[in-house]
A = this chain, B = another copy of it.
Amino acid sequence: MPEVSRKNLPRHSIGFDFGTESVRVVLADVRTGSFAAHAVETYARGVIDRALPTGGQALPPDYALQHPQDWLDSAARACRAVMSESRVAPQDLVGIGVAFTSCTMLPCLGDGTPLCLLDRFKDVPLAWPKLWKHHGAKAETDRINQIARERNEPWLARYGGTIGLEWFFPKVLETLRHAPDVYDAAEIWIEAGDWLVWQLTSGPFPNCARDRLVRSTCQAGYKAMWNAKDGYPSRDYLAAVDPKLANVVEVKLPGSHRSPGREAGILTDRAAALLGLRSRIPVSTAIIDAHAGVPGAGVAAPSTMVMVIGTSACHMMNSRIEATAPGIAGVVEDGILPGYFGYETGQASVGDALAWCARTLGLSHDELTGRAESLPPGSGGIIATDWLNGCRSPVMDGRLSGALVGLTLGTRPEQIYRAVMEATAFGLRRICDTLRDAGVPVRRFVASGGLPKRAPLLMQIYADVLDARIKLAPTDQSVALGAAILGCLAAGEPATGHASMSQAIHAMAPQRQDVMYRPDLRARKAYDRLYEVYRSLVADPGQLTGLMRRLREPG
């Protein structure tokens, strides 16, 4: 069949979304984004947080590990399922994209073999992949931050002044300190998303070639203090943190860095056999799952904030402007899409906070929402903080907590529920203000994630509080779709017909035109006033924030 005629045939890109409990795989039409098939496969061992599956060693309460074989096995099952269900011919597949939770990371040998699969280390918890929510590195995070502040490290400002407990170097240092044998044996420390792409393009292990390892600018930039100009933190800094850490970058972090959407390599024969695909398909460099939601929400332009709202919220935006701002999770060049500075900010609880309300008040979301809808802005004089799980942006302090102020004997459950909704909207507006104050415009909003389509009241409140229209992403599967779009970008124009990144994104993720939230003038004015009260409430340092921190001091 001549090449020219194939252009009109359906072509598909495959997107992998490696989540916390399972991997989701979608097969998306590169012209429309519609899914020819999708499948979810849970990891056999799930989140390993009580005992190791090998010798049954009990784990400390802060631990959250995973089994690397689960990722490969689940991906293979899901991939075969979508190919079988869709009846897409293997040759119609043009690209593969991989989104992965982060910072989920592991130590491995130079050939890609995870240390935890070696007899010598299978019973050592810190040899296992640490899931993003592994919280064992508290002391190490403190040290990493303390030394960075003392030395006034230039990269610190790019992370809003604080390195997170869940990030890459805290997890490396935790292993160095608590399992030095593991640290010493690790020839490579690697993000799970990068490891997965490496398996596809050079492996699977033990056949991976060290010099074929491509790391994502996204994972490295947001979680490992890397940037294109300066690379990783300096040898001097790392030595100050711990002398043994001085050479970690040269010795244990091999690989080149590429942006998501750029080809990391092509599918090996072995990997193709594992997944049931044809070999030599271009594979995009990995991306953090949340960040894949930006192209997945149909957003190619700068200054459009993509709000991924679920249990927590991750707000991402591309910009042509590079700036630093307090409490942002990170600003990374080429971090989300090539050619832009990608900003990541977050709120540590949104759906979780509303679920807490429903649980605590003993009423269903439907019941509470039904009653809350008829309330005017302000929830009967109650104002809340959106910090039931601590504050990410812009304060970055897990000791901050939820507050409800203005309660009276007449306060009804739905007023509390609405106040918490409003608090999350105020928290988001404060994040936008923080970016704008830093010179980074925020102009448009697209909502994605699990919550927006189920919570129209919440979306209307956001529109009113932000004084902006809110569009919805085309699908609940923004992350998997985003990964598929990145696979399409990696494949390039000859294979996909898309002449530009924005053309591909707009074609494959058309925003919903049927639902749009518009600000209501009266509500907006009321919220302008209430937002000032919220700003007083959350002022930091302030009486309330100081008090919340004192409440979290050990008794």
Q: Which residues of A contact B (CB under 8 A)?
A: 349, 352-353, 356, 360-363, 378, 381-383, 388-389, 401-409, 411-413, 416, 526, 529, 533, 536-537, 539, 542-544, 546-548, 550-552, 555
Contact = CB atoms under 8 A, between A and B. Distances in A.
A127 B378 CA distance: 38
B413 A407 contact: no
18 contacts: A349-B409, A360-B411, A360-B413, A361-B361, A361-B362, A381-B401, A383-B551, A401-B406, A401-B407, A405-B544, A405-B547, A406-B548, A529-B555, A533-B551, A536-B550, A539-B543, A543-B543, A544-B544
Contacts of A349: 409
Contact of A555 (B406, B408, B526, B539): B526
A529 B553 CA distance: 11
A403 B402 contact: no
Max chain B C-beta neighbours (<10 A), residue from A408, A409, A416: A409
B536 A543 contact: yes
Contact of A403 (B352, B403, B539): B403
6 shortest A-B CB distances, which residue pairs?
Answer: A362-B362, A402-B407, A543-B543, A403-B405, A406-B551, A404-B404
A401 B416 CA distance: 14
Number of copies: 2
Contacts of A363: 362
A257 to B, nearest CB: 36
A478 B297 CA distance: 69
Given A353-B409, A362-B363, A362-B413, 12 more contacts: A360-B411, A360-B416, A362-B362, A381-B401, A401-B408, A402-B404, A405-B544, A405-B547, A406-B548, A406-B551, A536-B546, A544-B544
Contacts of A408: 388-389, 401-402
Nearest to A378: B555
Contacts of A550: 533, 536
A49 B355 CA distance: 40
Contacts of A546: 536
Contacts of A378: 555
Contact of A401 (B360, B405, B529, B544): B405
Contact of A543 (B401, B529, B542, B555): B542
Nearest to A382: B551
Q: Is the interface of A mostly helix, strand, loop or mixed?
A: mixed
Contacts of A389: 408-409
A65 B455 CA distance: 46
A456 to B, nearest CB: 24
A453 to B, nearest CB: 23
A356 B409 contact: yes
A113 to B, nearest CB: 38
Contacts of A352: 409
A388 B361 CA distance: 17
A530 to B, nearest CB: 9
A125 to B, nearest CB: 24
Contact of A533 (B388, B412, B547): B547
Contacts of A413: 360, 362
A141 B353 CA distance: 41
A550 B404 CA distance: 15
A438 to B, nearest CB: 25
Contact of A402 (B411, B542, B555): B411
A346 to B, nearest CB: 15
Contacts of A542: 543
A271 to B, nearest CB: 40
B411 A406 contact: no
Contacts of A526: 555
Contacts of A543: 536-537, 539, 542-544
Contacts of A353: 409
Max chain B C-beta neighbours (<10 A), residue from A352, A360, A381, A403: A360
B383 A407 contact: no
A80 B481 CA distance: 84
Contacts of A388: 407-409, 411
Nearest to A534: B547
Contacts of A409: 349, 352-353, 356, 388-389
Nearest to A555: B526
Contacts of A551: 381-383, 405-406, 533
A352 B546 CA distance: 30
A194 to B, nearest CB: 31
Nearest to A389: B409
Contacts of A547: 383, 405, 533, 536-537
Nearest to A360: B413
A256 to B, nearest CB: 40
A349 B408 CA distance: 10
A407 B416 contact: no
